[in-house]
Amino acid sequence: MPVLVEAERLEKSFGPIVAVDGISLSVKKGEVLGFLGPNGAGKSTTMKMITGFLEPDRGRTRICGLDVEESPKEAKAKLGYLPEGAPLYGEMTPRAFLTFVAEVRGYRGADVKSRLALAVERTGLGSVLEQRIETLSKGFKRRVGIAQAILHDPPVLVMDEPTDGLDPNQKHHVRELIREMATEKAIIVSTHILEEVEAVCTRAVIINKGRIVADGTAEDLMRRVPYHGAVAIRVASERARAVISVLEQHEEVTRVETVSEAAGRTHLRAIPVDGKAIATGVASLLRDKALAVDELFVERGRLDDVFRDITTSEQDSNHA
Amino acid sequence: MPSSLETAAIIAKREFAAYFATPLASVFLTIFVAATGAFAFYIGGFFDRGQANLHSFFAYHPWLYLLLVPAVAMRLWAEERKSGTIELLMTLPISPWEAILGKFAAAWAFVGLALVLTFPIWITVNLLGDPDNGVILASYLGSFLMAGAFLAIGSFVSALTKNQVIAFILAATICFLFVMSGVELVQNTLRAWTPGVVAQAVSSMSFLTHFEHITRGVVALPSIVFFLSLIAFALFANVIAVDQRKAA
């Protein structure tokens, strides 16, 4: 798949504050890149540079092979962008606003109508087309912003916190939309909602203090969690000792921890060697030994933990 | 991809419509037409003069513009920056020049419309006497050009701030200096303290003097060139201001 977005060592300072400190990214067609980081990490600044709104102090960005600074109009023609907070001209109606965007993007006459129809259908704006944007609900405003970004069916889509402030249904709708478009575009979505990464992104990049601190699939990132892939077992306390001794002989189990013990039930956790998938092995082993357990499930790492782990450990090391 | 002029025209169309989306347009047009009339008839003594011309009408335009034109220009960029729509606008395939020209053209057309709406006074003077309509037309054009200069300065200043009130006050102040630079009071003070060249240079920037040249129908060309170059210069500064400050 061709690489559609290529950012090389972007740097940007505002006075003494270094907002972005050497970020490089590349996004291929079909990829949805989740751009994560705590507030103030430099997400928005990076996106503003990628979309050509801000000139980087150093580094460059190419959209579909076009340098954003050398041929800005051509590059921007390939790009759809939803800025943070989806700013819009409040005094316009969605129809007037989208018509304006379509005309600026070079569509005329019947093409404007068909482009509008498609974007309106995809974002479900039909019922509010003639209302002033400032009177619309937050969810509809966001949809107008998204409609504006996808109007010209761009190969590259950049969205800064597209679901921020939306209710769960609206979030779901936006994610569906992103998933629908994912195969034929390169998409960058910034967020600090981690469930979003698991829901829509094929890859996640975590930045902190203007630098990339992690890059991989959601699965890759979760492997960093200490208990990722561990098998949790709940068993009657009188059988706990037997279970522990059986599991500790299993070659793919590093160790077994006792997490808690209450009301005659013990909660154990078997940690695998190198994050291997051990659930099936453990289950059949226990069955062979005729050790009945109440419950057995695989613990999945939570992205929240990875995020906190990465972004706070970084801070600590900076303080040291 | 559309040409630069096309893009500027699309932006101008949107901006022009934006004036009418708020009460600003009706308030401005009403006050402009009422005030120009009131100045001409009451303060300018249109009837007492007993002359079939519109000198008393045009004479007050620089002073009216001082108050009203910065009000038209103040929102051009300050509002975009405040609401964040500048990010939307400048990530569309639009160059800063196209955006600035489009916005300026819309504001200029709006003031032009206000001028056109003063036509009853032209009808009045033609009913009462036999004025030189060539001079009146030249005066209208001169007034329009001067409004353009006020607007270009206002548009530039508007790009320097997110605050429309600051944009208004700054633009009005700068325009006031341009208007006043030809007044005897300022000139006498300058002559007393500086070499004659300085006083002359300042005086040559005077809106009043240039506007008078055009309305009196004498040596109009240099004054037309003056206003046009001032517009070009202010818009050039506007491009730099938008580029430098859009993210701040």
Residue A315, pLDDT score: 52
Residue A320, pLDDT score: 37
Mark out the alpha helices in chain B (DSSP H runs): 4-21, 24-38, 46-49, 55-58, 61-73, 75-83, 85-90, 96-116, 119-128, 133-158, 164-180, 184-193, 196-204, 207-215, 220-245
Residue of A nearest to B19 (CA): A91
User: Chain-wide mean pLDDT for chain A?
Assistant: 88
Question: Residue B49 corresponds to which tokens in the numbers above?
Answer: 């003069």
Q: What is the CATH number of domain A3-222?
A: 3.40.50.300
Please indicate whether, in this complex, the C-beta atoms of B246 and A53 are within 8 angstroms of each other: yes
Q: Lowest-pLDDT range, A153-162, A249-258, B131-140?
A: A249-258
Nearest to B8 by CA among A103, A92, A76, A88: A103
Indicate the CATH number of A231-298 among 3.30.70, 1.20.1070, 1.10.3470, 2.120.10.
Answer: 3.30.70
Residue A77, pLDDT score: 95
Does the structure show a pLDDT above 90 at A130? yes
Q: What is the pairing mode between strands A265-272 and A231-236?
A: antiparallel
Q: How far apart are CA B77 and CA B79, in angstroms?
A: 5
Residue of A nearest to B98 (CA): A104
- Band of pLDDT at residue A319, cut at 50, 70 and 90: very low
Nearest to A144 by CA among A170, A167, A169, A168: A170
Q: Lowest-pLDDT range, A20-29, A86-95, A298-307?
A: A298-307
Residue of A nearest to B243 (CA): A54
Q: What is the pairing mode between strands A156-160 and A186-191?
A: parallel
Chain A hits for B88, Cβ within 8 Å: 81, 83, 87-88, 148
Phi, psi of A164 (to 5 degrees): -60, 125
CA distance A47 to chain B (A): 11
Where does chain A hold its CATH 3.30.70 domain(s)? 231-298
Pairs across A and B, CB distance < 8 A: 75
Q: pLDDT below 70 — which residues of chain B?
A: 219, 247-248
Helix (H, G, I), strand (E, B) or coil at B79: helix
| Beta carbons of A167 and A131 less than 8 angstroms apart | no
Asked if B92 reaches chain A (Cβ–Cβ under 8 Å), the answer is yes
Residue B248, pLDDT score: 60
Please indicate whether, in this complex, the C-beta atoms of B92 and A101 are within 8 angstroms of each other: yes
Chain A hits for B1, Cβ within 8 Å: 73-74, 77, 106
Residue A314, pLDDT score: 54
Q: Which of A50, A69, A104 to mutate to test the interface with B (most CBs of B within 10 A)?
A: A104
Asked if B21 reaches chain A (Cβ–Cβ under 8 Å), the answer is yes
As separate numbers, helices (DSSP H) first and strands (DSSP E) second, chain A gives 11, 14
Please indicate whether, in this complex, the C-beta atoms of B10 and A104 are within 8 angstroms of each other: yes
Question: Residue B23 corresponds to which tokens in the numbers above?
Answer: 């009460």
Residue A317, pLDDT score: 47
- pLDDT mean over A94-120: 95
Question: What b/e readout covers A178-217, taking b as 16+ CB neighbours within 10 angstroms?
Answer: beebbeebbbbbbbbbbebbbbbbbbbbbbbbbbbbbeee
Residue B159, pLDDT score: 94
Nearest to B142 by CA among B72, B53, B226, B63: B226
Does the structure show a pLDDT above 60 at A316? no
Chain B hits for A92, Cβ within 8 Å: 14, 17-18, 21
| Beta carbons of B156 and B237 less than 8 angstroms apart | yes
Residue B7, pLDDT score: 95
Q: How far apart are CA A189 and CA A196, in angstroms?
A: 9
Domain spans of chain B, in order of start: 4-245
Q: Which of B92, B94, B239, B246 to mutate to test the interface with A (most CBs of A within 10 A)?
A: B92
* Angle, in degrees to the nearest 10, between helices B133-158 and B61-73: 40
Nearest to B94 by CA among A157, A53, A115, A144: A53
Q: pLDDT per residue over A184-233, tens digit each?
A: 999 999 987 777 888 889 999 999 889 998 888 877 777 777 677 788 88
Residues 6+ apart with CB under 8 A from A136: A94, A128, A144
Q: How far apart are CA B247 and CA B159, in angstroms?
A: 11
Chain B hits for A83, Cβ within 8 Å: 84, 87-88, 91
Does the structure show a pLDDT above 70 at A318? no
Q: What is the pairing mode between strands A79-82 and A156-160?
A: parallel
Please indicate whether, in this complex, the C-beta atoms of B93 and A148 are within 8 angstroms of each other: no
Q: What is the pairing mode between strands A17-28 and A3-14?
A: antiparallel
What 8-state DSSP symbol labels residue B43?
I
Q: pLDDT per residue over B74-122, tens digit each?
A: 999 999 999 999 999 999 999 999 999 999 999 999 999 999 999 998 9
Q: Give me the residue label for tokens 């992103």.
A: A178
What 8-state DSSP symbol labels residue B40?
I
Please indicate whether, in this complex, the C-beta atoms of B93 and A52 are within 8 angstroms of each other: no
The dihedral formed by the CA atoms of B153, B158, B164 and B170, expressed in degrees to the nearest 10: -40
Asked if B239 reaches chain A (Cβ–Cβ under 8 Å), the answer is no
Residue of B11, B14, B91 lying closest to A76 (CB–CB): B91
Q: Which of residues 99-138 of B touch A (CB under 8 A)?
A: none
Does the structure show a pLDDT above 50 at A120? yes
Q: Which of B87, B103, B242, B246 to mutate to test the interface with A (most CBs of A within 10 A)?
A: B87
Q: What is the pairing mode between strands A186-191 and A32-36?
A: parallel
Chain B hits for A48, Cβ within 8 Å: 87, 247
Residue B217, pLDDT score: 72
